[in-house]
Structure 1
Amino acid sequence: MYVPKEFKETDLNQLLAEMKKNSFGILLSNNDEAKIEATHLPFIIQEDDENLVIITHLAKPNPQWKTMNGKESLIIFPGPHAYVSASWYEEKNTVSTWNYTAIHAYGKVTIIENKYEMRQIVLKTTDYFEKGQSKPWKYEDHTEYVEKLLSGIVCLKIEVTELIGKKKLSQNHSSERREKVIAALENEEKYSSKEIAELMKAKLNTSS
């Protein structure tokens, strides 16, 4: 991912928080024919001592996992995004653009087929995403059914080797232009306009 210095996010705590918030991402890898494969998956981010580990699971019939063990993969965590119209600047010689945030995590893959480890990963995933539900789904209520399903999935552990964070929030424009964009985005209903407006406000406040 190309990241000009003004858009680069280097705060590890900030990156981890955003990965956890937008934890439904895209896993990419090359198969043996050098073809890029991709799967949309939920991910759990774990801080293991000094290492950062990402875990997930995918359907066993999905061929992507068969060529991943021991190799590098890329996980893309897309964040909010919004179209920025140059008309909002109310100036000549300007162009429209797109504001967005994204994180790319590179890491080495380990395939997990041990039933105990797989069960723990599925339970961690369920517990994480069930938080906040009025009546959370519980493994104990569906033990026999879940145990049967374990034979139909494969779990992955990705040890992160590199994190790249990007926040493109009009930092390359003047404060006046950024304030105009924020005001316009707050009135937009498309994409993640209001969320981008809030992120732009926070970035503007920290840089001013």
Structure 2
Amino acid sequence: MRQNPSFTLASEDGVRRLIRENPWATLVSETTNGLVASHYPVILDEDAEGIVLLSHVGRPDEQLLELGRHPLLVVIQGAHGYISPGWYDAKPAVPTWNFVVAHLHGTPEILSDADNLAVLDRLVDHFEDRMPEPRRMRGTVENAAYAERIVAGTVGFRMHVERFVAKDKMSQNRPAATVERIITELEGDGPYASAELAREMRRVHPDVP
């Protein structure tokens, strides 16, 4: 991904926030059979130093990806959307696309069955915690027995991110008045309204009314 100084997201904390808020990831591996991509949720190992991802893939995706044998590219896509030149001013302009994304690079470590089961527990808890009546993977004897059976169909991994490239393109190159109009349109009810993108822009531009 080509980097642009105006839109660089260089902060590890910023990338962690992006992962927490957008856990659905694209995993890309350059295998002996060419490029292979899969899609799985990821979470952070919050106890580790640096950026460390935890996840799993279903069998036989680990064979297709040749997981653990090559570096992996993990793509995290956050809020994004079309920005019309009609939201700028009367001067000639072209449309653009605002977005936040991170490309994370590392070689995954394959987990043992026991560690894989622990990661599956953490994944389920991570998403169930916000439910009114969370379902735990091993919350009952019946659930625990089921979890023990299905773990054989998955392969868990931990990936320490060795390097990342991230961009947070939120109209930082536009005047404050233009940014305010863009946010107003995104918060409206037009065809390209996006409350999620508007929130991300307000985070980048905290002084906009």
After TM superposition, the score normalised by the length of structure 1 is 0.90
Q: In the TM superposition, what are the counterparts of 1:62-101 in structure 2 within 5 Å?
A: 62-64=61-63, 67-101=66-100
Q: In the TM superposition, what are the counterparts of 1:44-193 in structure 2 within 5 Å?
A: 44-64=43-63, 67-112=66-111, 114-138=112-136, 139-141=138-140, 142-188=143-189, 193=194
Deviations 1:149-183 (A, max 9, x none): 11111111111101222111111111121111111
Alpha carbons of structure 1 residues 195 and 127: separation in structure 2 relative to 1, 3 Å: same
* Cross-structure match for 1:195: 196
Give unpaired runs (5+ residues) of structure 1: none
The CA RMSD over aligned residues, in Å, is 2.0
Give unpaired runs (5+ residues) of structure 2: none
Identity of matched residues, %? 26
* SS of match in other structure, 1:58: strand
Work out the CA distance in 2 between the residues paired with 1:134 and 1:90. Answer: 46
After TM superposition, the score normalised by the length of structure 2 is 0.89
Work out the CA distance in 2 between the residues paired with 1:194 and 1:92. Answer: 26
Deviations 1:2-23 (A, max 9, x none): 2211101122222212211111
Please, which moves more after superposition, 193-202 or 22-31? 193-202
Work out the CA distance in 1 between the residues paired with 2:135 and 2:17. Answer: 25
Work out the CA distance in 2 between the residues paired with 1:70 and 1:185. Answer: 43
User: Where do 4+ consecutive residues of structure 1 move more than 3 Å?
Assistant: 63-66, 188-192
Q: How many residues were matched structurally?
A: 205
Structure 1: which amino acid aligns with 2:61?
A: N
CA-CA distance at 1:58 after TM superposition = 1.1
CA-CA distance at 1:62 after TM superposition = 2.2
